[in-house]
Structure 1
Amino acid sequence: MTHDDVLDHFRETEALLEGHFLLSSGLHSDRYLQCAKVLMHPERAAILCRALADKVIASLGEGAVDVVVAPAMGGVIVGYEMARQLGVPGMFTERVDGKFEFRRGFELKKGARVIMSEDIVTTGKSSRECIDVIQAAGATVVGATCLIDRSNGSADVGVPLFSLMGMDVKTYEADKLPPELAKIPAIKPGSRNLK
């Protein structure tokens, strides 16, 4: 699957947004990819996650993953579909008092080989937080996945990161906005509340 193929899924579902966005990381951007609008179409989720699962298998080998874990909220659908495509169980972490943890009876076996799956990686903060929870449970994180790597390869999540495509999307601190962006009110389209 080419970068254009991936972007076509976002364009066709009106999931590639332009304006002024306040990201979950606290940074600002003039573009936003709303994965939920793409993933609301099961056939698109299956196509995208199949291509991502193929990348994982090509790199790690068939049968190299025992479980997929995703951070809620944004990673839940991607994590589920990645688990389905890899033929393994899938589960997710949730934020409780601002920190990820396993709930709903989810448990990892010691030594389980885990792929952490996200929708989008910008700074890698949520991915690293989720990976920390997986490792604290005694499992081994063999890699991480995301549909879109907004860092274009610069985010370090501590394990190999597989993505369908990287994008060089500029982000800005609140006090360093370009004038054209500062003129537009920021909206927060993500799932995590900022504090």
Structure 2
Amino acid sequence: MTREEVLDIFSKTEAMLTGHFRLTSGKHSNRYFQCAQVLQHPQYTGMLCQELAKDFADQGVQTVIGPAMGGIIVSYEVGRALGVRSIFTERENGKMALRRNFHIEPGEKVLVVEDVITTGGSVAEVIEVVKALGGEVVGVGVLVDRSNGKADLGVPTKALLTVTVETYEPDNCPLCAQGLPAIKPGSRQVP
């Protein structure tokens, strides 16, 4: 699948937004990727996740894991494409955790997936959960890397779409200086 084909899917589903946004990281941006708009379409989700799975098909992946919310569907579809189980982490008392009697065995080869990364913070937390349980993280797969490849997760990372999106600290945001209200379209609330 080419970059243009991936962009076409994001465009058709109106998953690329422009405006003034508060990101989960707390930073501001003039562009936002609302992957939920893509993930509501099983045919597109399947295509994207099959493509992402190809990058890890020879890694011996036994389990795919993603953070709730954005990583759940991606994990499920990548797991389906690889023929392995899919699980997810959730926040418990503000900290990423494995719940619902999910488990990871020592030495188990695990692929971490996510819909979008900007700083990679949530994915880094999932990696730590896997490692703390003795799992081996074979890589990270994401639909959209907003960091333009700058998020260093310490493992091989593959993205279907790598983009440069300007981000600003809230106290140095030109959009705020213009008086444009910032909106938070994602699933997690930030102050």
- Runs of 4+ residues over 6 Å off in structure 1: none
| Shift in CA distance, 181/157, structure 1 to aligned 2, threshold 3 Å | farther
Map 1:139-178 to 2 at 5 A.
Answer: 139-178=135-174
3-state SS of paired residue (1:111): coil
Q: TM-score, normalised by structure 1?
A: 0.94
Q: Does 1:13 align with 2:13?
A: yes
Match of 1:114 in 2: 110
What's the secondary structure of 1:75's corresponding residue? helix
The residue aligned with 1:101 is 97
1:183 deviates by: 2.3
Kindly report the root-mean-square deviation, in angstroms, between the aligned alpha carbons of the 2 structures: 1.2
What's the CA shift for 1:193? 2.1
Letter in 2 for 1:12: K
Q: Structure 1, unaligned stretches of length 5 or more?
A: none
Mapped to 2, the partners of 1:181 and 1:20 lie a distance apart of: 11
Assess, with a 3 A threshold, how the Cα gap between structure 1 residues 67 and 28 changes in structure 2: closer, same or farther: same
Alignment of 1:41-80 (within 5 A): 41-57=41-57, 61=58, 64-80=60-76
How many angstroms does 1:37 deviate by? Answer: 0.6
Identity of aligned residues (%): 51
Name the SS of the counterpart of 1:45 in structure 2: helix
- Distance in 2 separating the partners of 1:181 and 1:189: 20
Deviation at 1:181, TM superposition (A): 6.5
Would you say the 8 A contact 1:20–1:181 is kept in 2?
Answer: no
Are positions 1:85 and 2:81 aligned together?
yes
1:31 aligns with 2:31: yes
Structure 2 length as normaliser, TM-score? 0.96
The answer to whether residue 4 in structure 2 is matched with residue 4 in structure 1 is yes
